[in-house]
Chains A and B, each alone.
Chain A
Amino acid sequence: MKIEDLSKDTEQLVTIEPDDLIPLPYPYDDPVNEPLMKGLTDDQRMRYEASLDGVLAIGIPKPQNKDEEDAFVKRFLAGLERLLTSDNNWTFLQPLYHSLEYCVKCQICNDSCPAYIASGRKEIYRPTYRPEILRRIINKYIRKRSGILTKLTGSDIDLNWRLVARLGELAYRCTLCRKCAQICPLGVDNGLISHEIRKIFSQEMGIAPRELHELGTMQQLKAGSSTGITPKALHNIIEFMEEEIEEKAGRKIKIPVDKEGAEILLLHNAGEFISWPENTEAFAIIFDVAGIDWTLSSDLVGYDAVNYGVWYDDIQLARIAVRHAEIAKALKVKKINVGECGHAHKAMIVVADRVLTGELNIPRESALPLLEALVCNGKLKLDPQRNNFPVTLHDPCNMVRLMGIVEPQRKILRTLCPQFKEMEPHGVENYCCGGGSGFAIMQSMNFPDWRSAVSGRIKLKQILETFQEVISPDIKKYVCAPCSNCKGQIRELFNYYNVNEKCGIYYGGLVELIVNAMVDIKKRFIDWEWH
């Protein structure tokens, strides 16, 4: 396949067959048992541009006539021009400029990309492929190189609506885990290019996956949370959590909400309240036992730490970050602590650090160092024997490779889990769960199948390899993933391959293991119920 084929009028550029995928360890070592990825229906193919790889993450409607096609291309080019200006893209212009100008295409980054490797090295998923397409478009259509110079510089590409639509989809085949960037000796960041392409589509063309934009940032800003939880619903959920804590842990706790002047405003990914309330309950139990002065917020946006803008839209990123800071300021808290959500860590503590100025620059930190202090400094009475089952740790890219929070969670696990075993590679060299950059929440058409079979494949391989000696379903095992989106992805991945039933592997957060080890809690907190 040639690079310029992306603009060719072909029915489908790439097809992923089960035999192409890299093999998995026992009990998935027979490719015959590989689940078949769902195909698109005829109706979906007719309505949406699906000729990249037969998978739809965004689902860009096909233009109805030549005028619509031209307008589509024109809007893309206008966005690309804006992307290269300092007023419109001061946020990432320098890293973008470096990556566009100084990649020598040595391909050393290729082997670090989980999607590229897992797919059997499909050309379109190669980390250098998208940047090369963008570079060619810039050279030919923005810098107006033509004739012999186009040929000599390898800038030959035909810009048409099909190329633009495919490029948009292709930006959502990269999880932005940035392992490729970590490898590059020249400091080139091919993951960033996917991020910047996504920005053209959202910020200029108004195109983004529904789960990230309409149901994500827009819903969060208007209704309070990307989950749809309203402030009123939150109060009901908190009441439910208090009842559950009493029932499961035998403790009567009043969860503080909107407490002015508290030391800590704790921000959870609101997905926890719905899918894994045991995580938010465990935080409440730990903070209560340790006597922490904390509060939740019930203000719009204040009870949902997520900031999907970090994946596709700088303006939306800034809006949510500012809102979080305004809420913390109004509550007069001393600091914000972010719960177990990787991208919220990265967005709120790191990326938005350069958006929040003056009084909005409220101190922000991860909850993990605080938890480490509570566990390792003897603030809690803990019995590691209560966690005496095989445990491994998944490193969320946003917290680890992109933030350098590596040891606190490990110190907790080494203290509390006698059978803790690292997966390989781990720490800052980890592999993405496959659900990064929004993939975990994107449910468009057949995209979830691609996410499980391709982008999550290496993670599944790692988990199975780590537990290979205890792979029997009779032995209960635990993948600790201190991140909501990673947990969501692992849940879907395990469902796709029926991992819980076949191998007895369960997943959950970090705080659940802490509470499970607390001697004052009579019942075991981890119930091994699959959900």
Chain B
Amino acid sequence: MNTFLAILTYFAYCFIIGAYTVKIVKYLRLPTHLRWELYPVIHEEKYAYGGSYFEKKEWWNEEKQKRYVRGILYLLKEYFTLGDYLTRNVLYWLGLFPWHIGFILIITFHILCFFGALFMVLEFTISPGSPDLWGRILFYAILITGIVSFIAGTVGSIFIIINRIIDKSLRTYATPLNFLMYIFTLVVFISGLYSWYFIDPDMKEYREFWKGLITFHFVGVDVGTMVHIILFDLFLIYLPFTRSLHYITRLFAFFLIRWDDEPNRRGSKLEKRLIKNLNQKVGWQGPHIGAGRSWNELARYDR
């Protein structure tokens, strides 16, 4: 059973990393598209009111400096506050916020468990009275992130299920799979809560389990903890089949679409990519199209 649990955990992490990578690569390899930005564009100097470089005469004479940091900070803030939802639908936010905090912290919890285990391999003591500062920091960090994630996730899952049921506009568009997902996450968080409260108040079992994964000396854990680990592994395997990657693709959508105001300059790399696109053959069959010729040829309409 110990080996099974370890292999399942290895597989779950490898699977989610692999599946996410494939999805991200697929997304990023989609061709350069026409400009379709929306203002305010975050890196614009006139961002505060949504102004752009098109407000300047002969804008092409100025080299633009993009301020990526501002965009990243904006998105990070949204990741941790979900402020757009708070402003527009407080009730929805009340479920969504703890649910997402639950996710962020449960992942942080496992990453910290890995580091805790790594430190244990390096013969640090992870405990509240550890002589090593890092040992004390990791102990409390693991404990707090774990507890908060289990509680927030549980509360969030319940609220979000209620929201999706009582709000007609949410219910109409919710799928059975959405509800299964919410119930699944609820079970994952509750199992963690149970394991912490009744079995492993110091999260020692997690650290030992992770140490086993690092050293390949797989250790046994209590049934309650084991159930949570299995559920979390299954959850990781399931995640790539959901819309969960929106946490990352959102970044792409903002930088590559909504804020993409890069002008096409002669001789630029962008122009080279566009020429490649324009040389592709068009297959559209509308009577006015003239399928079979390239975009370039078709754009020079036969007058």
B partners with A: yes
Say yes or no: A98 contacts B50, CB within 8 Å: no
Query: Inside 8 A of B303's CB, which chain A residues have their CB?
Result: 221-222, 300
Q: Are A404 and B283 in contact (CB under 8 A)?
A: no
Report the contact-size class of chain A (Cβ under 8 Å from the partner).
35 or more
Q: Are B299 and A315 in contact (CB under 8 A)?
A: yes
CB-nearest residue of chain B to A370: B57
The 8 Å CB contact of A403, one of B52, B96, B271, is: B52
Q: Does B238 contact A (CB under 8 A)?
A: no
Q: Which of A101-142 contact B (CB under 8 A)?
A: 101-108, 110-111, 123, 126, 128, 132
Q: In whole Å, how far is B20's beta carbon from the nearest beta carbon of chain A?
A: 13
Cβ–Cβ < 8 Å partners of A265 in chain B: none
A355 / chain B contacts, CB cutoff of 8 Å: 34, 274, 278, 295, 299
Q: Looking at the assembled complex, report how far the CB atom of B270 sits from the nearest CB atom of chain A, in whole angstroms.
A: 8
Residue from B33, B40, B280 whose CB has the most chain A CB atoms within 10 Å:
B33
A86 to B37, CA, bound (A): 20
Evaluate contact between B30 and A182: CB separation under 8 angstroms.
no
By the criterion CB–CB under 8 Å, are B252 and A98 in contact?
yes
Chain B: number of interface residues, binned into ranges: 35 or more
A350 touches B37 (CB 8 A): yes
Contact A95 B172 (CB under 8 A): no
- A357 and B52 form a contact (CB under 8 A): no
The verdict on A102 contacting B249 (CB below 8 Å), with A107-B170, A108-B88, A319-B298 known, is: yes
A-B contacts, CB under 8 A, total: 262
A200-226 vs B: 1/0 string, CB under 8 Å? 001111100000010000100110000
Contact B264 A402 (CB under 8 A): no
| Residue B269 CB within 8 A of the other chain | no
Q: Which of A167-175, A186-194, A253-261, A516-524 contacts B (4 or more CB under 8 A)?
A: A186-194
Given the known interface contacts A87-B280, A400-B39, the answer about A108 and B89 at a Cβ–Cβ threshold of 8 Å is yes
Of B59, B243, B253, the most chain A CB neighbours within 10 A belong to B253
B40 → A minimal CB distance (Å): 6
Counting CB contacts under 8 A, is B140 at the interface? no
Interface residues of B in 258-303 (CB under 8 A from A): 258, 261, 263-266, 270-271, 274-275, 277-278, 280-289, 295, 298-301, 303
B246 touches A403 (CB 8 A): no
Asked if A406 contacts B246 (CB within 8 A), the reply is: no
Q: A98-B257, A101-B249, A183-B84 are in contact. Are A402 and B299 (CB under 8 A)?
A: no
Please tell me if the beta carbons of A97 and B173 are within 8 angstroms of each other in the complex.
no
**B84 pairs with A404, CB closer than 8 A:** no
Chain A residues numbered 65-106 whose CB sits less than 8 Å from any CB in chain B: 75, 78-79, 82, 85-88, 90-95, 97-98, 101-106
Chain A residues with CB under 8 Å of B66's CB are none
A261 to chain B, nearest CB (A): 17
Q: Which residues from 60 to 76 on chain B have a C-beta closer than 8 Å to any C-beta of chain A?
A: 60
Q: A151-B176, A357-B271 are in contact. List 9 more A-B contacts (CB 8 A).
A: A86-B31, A107-B173, A186-B249, A206-B288, A350-B37, A354-B270, A357-B266, A358-B271, A404-B39
Q: Please name 17 pairs of A and B residues whose Cβ atoms are closer than 8 Å in the assembled complex, sorted by A.
A: A82-B283, A88-B284, A94-B27, A102-B250, A104-B243, A111-B88, A152-B177, A185-B250, A203-B284, A300-B303, A353-B263, A357-B266, A366-B54, A402-B38, A405-B52, A405-B54, A407-B51
